[in-house]
Structure 1
Amino acid sequence: MAVLVLRLAPEWSDHHGRTTAVARLRQALATIPHPGIDRLSLAGMPVARADGMALIQQDQATLLPLSLLVTLIVLYLILPDWTDVLLVVLTTGFTLVYTFGLMGWLGWKFSILSSVAPVILVTTGTTYSVHPLVRLPRRGRLPDRERFPETFADLFPALAQCCLTTIVGFASLLPIQITLVHEFVAIVGTGVAIAFIVAMTLLPAMVAGLAVDGGPAAASPAQLPVPRRSRRDILRRLLNDFLPQVWRRPRLVLALLGLLMLAGLLAGTHVRVKAYVFDDFWEDSALMQQIRRAEQACLGILPVAVLVEAAPRETVVRHRYLSQAASITAFLRTLPGIGKVDSPTDFIGEVWRLFQEGEGSPPPFPPDESSLSAIFRFMLSAGNLAADQDFLTRDLSTLQIKARLFDLESASAAALLDRIRGALAATADASTTLQLTGTTVMIQETYRQTISSFMQSLGFVIGCTVIVFAWFYRDRTLVGWATAGNLGPLLCTFGFMGWWGIPIKISTITIFGIALGLAVDDTIHFLTVFRQWRARGRTDAEAARRAIVGTARGMVVSSAALFAGFLVLLWSEFEAQYLIGLLLCFNIAIALLFDLAFIPAAVSLWGPASGQSVSAPKGRMPQTTNG
């Protein structure tokens, strides 16, 4: 096996340049005859980045239409009428157009992480439209012209809270010091805000065009009425069978879900941190196999460097600096995680041996100061001081020892880099500065910081969510149960990771803040209606029963839309997006269970004190209607 190392010029270092260069090189390789050679492969970091972006574009071309199709099917099976499905499609479409238009105007680009943004916007945009549509007072299948504005007015505070908490969930990723993550937060946060604005402005305008005069009396909230169209009978019957069990046996419900949380906590103790630089791709994918072949052929693929810097007003063309470089080179070659090591002492040593040719056994390298001066005069006169290897800066102030690492697990890579730093600290003297640098060092430091700040970012989103609950509900009991009901699904998701051996890495830790930001939406809708019934003098149990009946259908529809939208990520070309989709789908399903059972059961038993005044937003009570 032979390796030919090429470097891209700086003007080819952006995405367009990399893609063009890789395409031209592949085309050139295809035209080169290679008798007796089994394979000519183009590999390396620029190739992996170019091919990765091609997979991103392929994913976008597949997943976004698939997400829309699956969401449409779910909505058609659940929403009252096909016109409601059309309204959701239009509002979601406007959200995507506005968001992508803003991205183009600001010059934002898609990356491996932000390529999932369209799917997130489809799902969140759908939920903001679904809640008003399932609560609309209707005459037959069409909205009531006189009463539908009240529905949007009543839902505005709850949807505003949902928008705020969702954005906060994504903002919890900001402590991760990765530009791609920050761009992802900016894109999705902006899109969520646009989805809310569209749902509160464009959607009412379109509903007004379909509305008719007059409307039937509201149905009793004691039971969910069975609609005329049989395709939704199953959902209604399931809710009518399930919900009575919640208010008849609230203590049993709390005990069972408490055990589920405990099981999640215990299983979560088996979760381990395990991250690689190239862990976004499937291990058996063609791109990953190509990367692994290149890693073996090149004896490592991740670059690091040790800089040996001379004291001020000195140059590294001194015996002591080359001695240090030779010592560091020998040490690096003993480390198991490092492949090839390229050192200036190798090159200068070859020149030294040429100087000694024919004179018997050469003296030890590095030579004395006078011999070094002769060697460097020869190299300077040849006009090839660094032999095109960047071993030596032009001002002779710095030597560079270059090495390539294998793609180690993050903990092993961090330990290896720490060991190198320790050796450099022991080797350096007062006249020398030794520095470990390179792309790999930055990547591993980012991994270390990201994983160590995981609890910090999760604590941030939990704290912000509690503040939002406290600001809107002004009741410690409601805030406590709302917080517990949304932390429970996170514990279960953590346990799911431990049970199935899903490790903590960049792609998996990002879902916790996102999941919490999405899960609180249904909690907000339920507690808003619960407070309205309590303000009317109902008991905790009666208010909880009426609130869950009035909001259950909207919860199921919005959660089903979220589940269906993220489900398509299971067909992604990237393992990272697959795990995001899998964990978010699991969390959405568990969060729906907690919103339908845990929180209603808890507030029905231990809600605000019966004598306590509970404020509620102004407006009519939400009611369940036909259709």
Structure 2
Amino acid sequence: MNKNKAFSGLAIAGLTTLFFILTWQGLTFNYDFENFFQENDPDLDFYREYREKFENDNDYLLIALGHKPDIYDSLFLEQSLQLKKEICGLEGVLEVVSLLDQEEALIGPFGVNFRLLLDWSSSENLKKTAQRLSEDDLWKGSLMDENARYLLLLVKNKQRIAKEEGDRLYMAIEGLLRQSEITDYKAAGKIKAQGAFVSLLQEEFAFFFLLAIICVLLLLWLLYRVWWAIVLPLIIILIGIFWTIAFLLLTGGELDIMLVMQPPILMVIGLSGMVHILSHYQGLIRKNVPKEKAVALVFGELALPIFLTALTTALGFISLYFTDVYSLKWFGLYTGLGVLFMFTSLMSLLPVALFTFAPLGSSQNKVWEARWENSMGKLYQWILAKKSLIAVLFVSISLLAGIFMSQVKTDGYILDNLPEDHPLMADFRFFDERFSGSKPLEIFVSVENDDLTIFDYQVLSEMDKLAAFIKENYKTDNVLSPLTLIKSINKARNGGNPKAFRLPSELAYQGMDRIRDQFMERRDLGVWSEDLKSGRMSARMEDLGSFEGQRLHQNLNRFVENNVDKELLQVRITGTSFLIDKSHEQVTQNVFEGLGFAFFLVVFIVGLLYKSWRIAFLVLLPNIVPLLWIGGGMYWFGIDFKLSTSIVFAIAFGIAVDDSIHFMTNLRLQMAKGNLLDHAMRLTFMTTGKAIVLTTFILSSGFLVLMFSDLEIPWFAGFLVSLSLFFALLADLFWLPVLLLSIKKLLNAKVIGALPEKQKLQK
């Protein structure tokens, strides 16, 4: 590295920055929980076909209107009806379902009559209505709560409504709610949640960007206390982040709940590489090496290890690309590329700074340096004296952590990412407690027999068994299905008696075809297909978590297998909630599969450096330790595997392996000078060991910043990655030297074999 090459790098960096400035697209934020579905999943393909036939199961907004002591107040009901009509008139609203204009059929001698469920035309009618509804469990938990304190408006919005359109619609609905005389109301649903998430994302992005800058400035000031060594490194890091975000936007990417973590992650990774370079540079300056020669030596010796650490870190992130989850795939890919952008920024701009400004190191506290070296020397002596104990401890703790890790369950919730005290969480909990839940439950039913339809009695009988099990298994109050139509007709034929809301006897069902067709023409419930060969069973349930959800789904599958006649009825669970529950399990599995790929690449890189697969596998062992210990720590702290915690393993491995790469490349450099392992190890421990401690402190500080987040994914990333970096430091400082000393003959043989003949004889 010389001045000409350094300024050539500056020119390239300048042109790259200019290109990204000219092509800047502007920041865009997005939150769509469907981005966490598993791509290439047969269940996802099936659901996409299902919603084309019926409807998207989460395109609704739940609005609960409250009144004390109960909803049976004529003024309140009139105000609610007016509000319903206003919401129906909004663009993007398809339908508003409520008790306010719901009709109930009555079949008498003179045909079918319909009466309003809620009649407040007189106080006497209102009393009769209250009495009738109190005896009818059909509507409790669905369109009114158990205590008749809240009335539900189920607002069905445009299918797969765009984020911007959904925001406008919810703002219009919220405006109507505020203008209404009704002051007690709650709302929950997709169009509200997406807007809240994006607002939170924008706040988090700005907050973390500022906090990361403050953190970097503080760390640089503590380390160097020289203005250019504080300002210029920050500028270099910010340029690397700008390149990353500009490239993301240029290629059609958007900032989401995952990518909002990028700035602090890239900042601490860039700062870590910079500290390795500046620490080595300081050491040479203190040895009175001329500045130009020191810069050349630094980049000559560290260019390869810095590149390898950037590559392994990038590969750790890129391993997330194998998860098949849209949001995780692009977070992994863009952050992996961001690490490489950061390396390019560092290597093209830092040499110019070192050539231009006064050298670091001469004014540093030499007493402090001597204490560092003395402490590291004593630590190394202790490690040599306790080799067997260290090996036993690391193996024992790792095995124990592995056992604990195997007992960590996979469990996640739809609103996992929000803080517990967020108003949106309170609203969703409200609907879980009072209205059977806010989580959609969808089950597809079909008839394979060409001679039957879903309205044949034997098919309805199977569906009736299934509906009863669904209500019991999922603790839901109401299941909407083709069976609902038949039960409503039976109730109508019995004078509106609530007890008659059931499947009639086969004899009573005969001759019901004409009435059924009349009912179907009057109101399409959206639960049967045009050819009457398939249908849906739709309900809402409490969000009990993916672990419990998967257990309930398995219960249903077992019930279908043992109790439903497949010749008559085919059953399949589907829907967005089912896919999210499944994604938590699949992501955990796929992250660990991706780690297998990352393990292979690390072994390959170290194997090439030392031309020995035995050495490569030994180096891999200390990097498995932090992963096992994190898993054991998760069991200890009661943290489950889920979307937000599984990704930590890929991030942690990609960053933690850097210490091993730095240690091994420096050891190789010392041995290439002719030093045998004992002496080379001591020199490496005294120099790179110190840098590893400093960079671990820097990286941990940077990731701990994420714990200020109100979102779950950044919080867990901050806590667990910081913990893993500490574990990686212990493994690299204590166990890696012990492992390498166990193959001293092999390493020394490689050194002696690479020496000229004269030096071999001297050895």
| Match of residue 268 from structure 2 | 123
- Please say if residues 300 and 339 of structure 1, whose CA atoms lie closer than 8 Å, have aligned partners that are also in contact: no
Alpha-carbon offset, residue 275 of structure 1: 1.5
Name which of 293, 315, 326 aligns with 1:168.
315
Stretch moving more, 57-66 or 73-82:
73-82
User: For each residue in 1:482-505, what CA deviation from the matched residue of structure 2 results, as whole angstroms up to 9, or x when unmatched?
Assistant: 222222233332332233222322
Alpha-carbon offset, residue 264 of structure 1: 5.0
Q: Distance in 1 between matches of 2:248 and 2:754?
A: 39
| Match of residue 622 from structure 1 | none
Unpaired runs of at least 5, structure 1? 216-225, 618-627
- Please say if residues 145 and 211 of structure 1, whose CA atoms lie closer than 8 Å, have aligned partners that are also in contact: no
Name which of 65, 89, 96 aligns with 2:234.
89
Cα distance change on mapping 1:340 and 1:178 into 2, 3 Å: farther
Q: Distance in 2 between matches of 1:122 and 1:276?
A: 30
Alpha-carbon offset, residue 340 of structure 1: 3.7
Cα distance change on mapping 1:560 and 1:245 into 2, 3 Å: closer
| Match of residue 181 from structure 1 | 328
Alpha-carbon offset, residue 17 of structure 1: 2.7
| Match of residue 590 from structure 1 | 727
Alignment of 1:467-616 (within 5 A): 467-604=604-741, 606-607=743-744, 608-613=746-751
What amino acid does structure 1 have at the position aligned with 2:517? R
Name which of 14, 37, 45 aligns with 2:162.
14
User: For each residue in 1:588-608, what CA deviation from the matched residue of structure 2 results, as whole angstroms up to 9, or x when unmatched?
Assistant: 123223333432354356433
What amino acid does structure 2 have at the position aligned with 1:262? S
Alignment of 1:433-448 (within 5 A): 433-448=570-585
| Match of residue 223 from structure 1 | none
- Please say if residues 285 and 362 of structure 2, whose CA atoms lie closer than 8 Å, have aligned partners that are also in contact: no
Q: Distance in 1 between matches of 2:280 and 2:324?
A: 42
| Secondary structure in 2 matching 1:377 | helix
| Match of residue 245 from structure 1 | 379
Alpha-carbon offset, residue 584 of structure 1: 1.0
Query: Does 2:432 align with 1:295?
Result: yes
Alpha-carbon offset, residue 402 of structure 1: 0.4
Alignment of 1:200-599 (within 5 A): 200-210=347-357, 228-230=363-365, 237-247=371-381, 249-252=383-386, 255-256=389-390, 258-259=392-393, 262-263=396-397, 265-267=399-401, 269-271=403-405, 272-277=408-413, 278-311=415-448, 315-355=453-493, 357=495, 364=504, 371-379=511-519, 381-382=521-522, 384=523, 386=524, 389-425=525-561, 426-430=563-567, 432-453=569-590, 455-599=592-736
Q: Distance in 2 between matches of 1:177 and 1:365?
A: 49
- Please say if residues 91 and 129 of structure 1, whose CA atoms lie closer than 8 Å, have aligned partners that are also in contact: no
Question: How large is the Cα RMSD of the aligned pairs?
Answer: 3.1
Cα distance change on mapping 1:429 and 1:503 into 2, 3 Å: closer
Q: Distance in 1 between matches of 2:596 and 2:357?
A: 45
Query: Does 2:176 align with 1:50?
Result: no
| Match of residue 67 from structure 1 | 212
Query: What's the TM-score, normalizing by structure 2?
Result: 0.72
What amino acid does structure 2 have at the position aligned with 1:237? R
- Please say if residues 243 and 596 of structure 1, whose CA atoms lie closer than 8 Å, have aligned partners that are also in contact: no
| Match of residue 245 from structure 2 | 100
What amino acid does structure 2 have at the position aligned with 1:17? E
- Please say if residues 462 and 568 of structure 2, whose CA atoms lie closer than 8 Å, have aligned partners that are also in contact: no
Q: Distance in 1 between matches of 2:401 and 2:176?
A: 53
- Greater RCO, 1 or 2 (C-alpha within 8 Å, sep 6+): 1
Stretch moving more, 525-534 or 456-465:
456-465
| Secondary structure in 2 matching 1:434 | strand
Alpha-carbon offset, residue 78 of structure 1: 1.4
Larger radius of gyration: 2
Cα distance change on mapping 1:108 and 1:331 into 2, 3 Å: same
- Please say if residues 567 and 581 of structure 1, whose CA atoms lie closer than 8 Å, have aligned partners that are also in contact: yes
Q: Distance in 2 between matches of 1:286 and 1:369?
A: 48
Instruction: Give the paired residue count.
Output: 595
Q: Distance in 1 between matches of 2:418 and 2:395?
A: 32
Name which of 129, 154, 157 aligns with 1:5.
154
User: For each residue in 1:282-323, what CA deviation from the matched residue of structure 2 results, as whole angstroms up to 9, or x when unmatched?
Assistant: 334333222211222331222122222233766434333333
Alpha-carbon offset, residue 246 of structure 1: 0.9
User: For each residue in 1:404-428, what CA deviation from the matched residue of structure 2 results, as whole angstroms up to 9, or x when unmatched?
Assistant: 2322233321121012123334414
User: For each residue in 1:440-486, what CA deviation from the matched residue of structure 2 results, as whole angstroms up to 9, or x when unmatched?
Assistant: 11112222223344543333332332222212222345324322222
* % identical equivalent positions: 23
Cα distance change on mapping 1:488 and 1:435 into 2, 3 Å: closer
Stretch moving more, 83-92 or 249-258:
249-258
| Match of residue 159 from structure 1 | 306
Q: Distance in 1 between matches of 2:274 and 2:351?
A: 10
- Please say if residues 393 and 399 of structure 1, whose CA atoms lie closer than 8 Å, have aligned partners that are also in contact: yes
User: For each residue in 1:541-589, what CA deviation from the matched residue of structure 2 results, as whole angstroms up to 9, or x when unmatched?
Assistant: 1101112223234323322221111011111102332222111111212
| Secondary structure in 1 matching 2:156 | coil
- Please say if residues 163 and 191 of structure 2, whose CA atoms lie closer than 8 Å, have aligned partners that are also in contact: no
Q: Distance in 1 between matches of 2:488 and 2:246?
A: 58
Q: Distance in 1 between matches of 2:663 and 2:462?
A: 68
Alpha-carbon offset, residue 438 of structure 1: 0.7
- Please say if residues 263 and 495 of structure 1, whose CA atoms lie closer than 8 Å, have aligned partners that are also in contact: no
- Please say if residues 250 and 602 of structure 1, whose CA atoms lie closer than 8 Å, have aligned partners that are also in contact: no
Alpha-carbon offset, residue 64 of structure 1: 1.9
Alpha-carbon offset, residue 56 of structure 1: 1.9
Q: Distance in 2 between matches of 1:293 and 1:240?
A: 61
Cα distance change on mapping 1:135 and 1:229 into 2, 3 Å: closer
Query: Does 2:291 align with 1:144?
Result: yes
- Please say if residues 317 and 372 of structure 1, whose CA atoms lie closer than 8 Å, have aligned partners that are also in contact: no
What amino acid does structure 1 have at the position aligned with 2:292? R
- Please say if residues 322 and 366 of structure 1, whose CA atoms lie closer than 8 Å, have aligned partners that are also in contact: no
Stretch moving more, 476-485 or 63-72:
476-485
What amino acid does structure 2 have at the position aligned with 1:57? Q
Cα distance change on mapping 1:602 and 1:356 into 2, 3 Å: closer
Alpha-carbon offset, residue 110 of structure 1: 2.2
| Match of residue 48 from structure 2 | none
User: For each residue in 1:501-530, what CA deviation from the matched residue of structure 2 results, as whole angstroms up to 9, or x when unmatched?
Assistant: 223222222112211110111221221121
Q: Distance in 1 between matches of 2:370 and 2:181?
A: 68
| Secondary structure in 1 matching 2:292 | coil
Structure 1 ranges of 4+ moved more than 6 A:
140-143, 366-369, 614-617
Cα distance change on mapping 1:527 and 1:303 into 2, 3 Å: same
Q: Distance in 1 between matches of 2:491 and 2:545?
A: 40
Q: Distance in 1 between matches of 2:521 and 2:374?
A: 91
- Please say if residues 310 and 398 of structure 1, whose CA atoms lie closer than 8 Å, have aligned partners that are also in contact: yes
| Secondary structure in 2 matching 1:43 | strand
Q: Distance in 2 between matches of 1:61 and 1:540?
A: 49
| Secondary structure in 2 matching 1:136 | helix
Q: Distance in 2 between matches of 1:175 and 1:368?
A: 57
User: For each residue in 1:357-407, what CA deviation from the matched residue of structure 2 results, as whole angstroms up to 9, or x when unmatched?
Assistant: 599x9892577775342024313553x3x2xx3112234332211022322
Q: Distance in 1 between matches of 2:486 and 2:261?
A: 50
